[in-house]
Amino acid sequence: MPFEAFITAAVESSMNILVNDDPELVRRLSRLKGQVIQVHLRELNKTLTFVFSHKIDVLAAYEGEPDCYLSLNLASLSELREQSNITQLIKQDKLTLEGDIQLAQKFSQLLSDCKPDIEEWLSRATGDVIAHNLVQSASGLREFAIRRAEKHTNHLAQVITEEWKLAPASLEVAHFCDQVDDVASWTARVEAKLNKLMDRV
């Protein structure tokens, strides 16, 4: 299977599974029925076409004219939910939009809300109690890992600044900045006095 076909199939399958898992998303999908949206991802220089019917078809190639065309970076996709962001994104050259703006917003909302409910999926195989405990444990492990990473980062910063003296400490940087400000003020005062003297001469 070619790489593009693999990607489109993966996106299509994932979105359809997630939409069918949530009645609210099924309702939103029905509002997009008959619409075609093309999304050009600038980082990858690839265009995906989303065709909406009772399900979502994702195509790597499409000959027709889409109802809405978007060209943007992946990071900007979630910002389309708010209409006020669209003008800003266009002004910042982060978005090229042709066609129906409201359609772009509905699409962005659908994508943003297509998030897997891990606990729900696990509960089908293990039961509610075990699924809840597993998700809570995973969440606790994640928070523990984040705290440990922050602790190690702070420790490394202290070693670099205090023991190895490879970089100045934050207080030293602040003190240096204060000294620079003092010198700048002193220079400005001297310059002002010199200008007064030159005016008298």
Tell me the C-alpha distance between 181 and 173, whole Å.
12
Pairing relationship of beta strands 56-59 and 68-72 according to DSSP bridges:
unpaired
- Tell me the per-residue pLDDT of 85-134, one tens digit each, with 9 for 90 and over: 777 888 888 889 899 888 888 888 887 777 755 555 555 566 666 655 66
pTM (predicted TM-score): 0.57
pLDDT tens digits for range 47-86:
999 999 989 999 988 888 999 999 988 878 777 767 677 7
Residue whose pair of structure tokens reads 């004219």 in the numeric block: 65
pLDDT confidence of residue 197:
77
Helix (H, G, I), strand (E, B) or coil at 3: helix
Of 9, 30, 35, 10, the residue nearest 20 (C-alpha)? 30
| pLDDT for 51 | 95
Q: From 1.10.3720.10, 3.30.540.10, 3.30.1050.10, 1.10.286.10, which CATH number describes the 3-115 domain?
A: 3.30.1050.10
Mean pLDDT of 175-189: 83
Tell me what the mean pLDDT of segment 38-45 comes to: 88
Tell me the Cα Rg of the chain: 28
Calculate mean pLDDT across residues 137-145: 70
* The pLDDT of residue 161: 66
Task: Give the start-to-end residue ranges of the domains of the chain.
Answer: 3-115, 117-167, 169-201
Give the SS3 label for residue 194.
helix
Mean pLDDT to the nearest integer, 34-58:
91
Sign of CA dihedral 64, 68, 72, 77: negative
Which pLDDT does position 184 carry in this prediction? 83
Give the number of other CB atoms < 10 A from CB of residue 48.
19
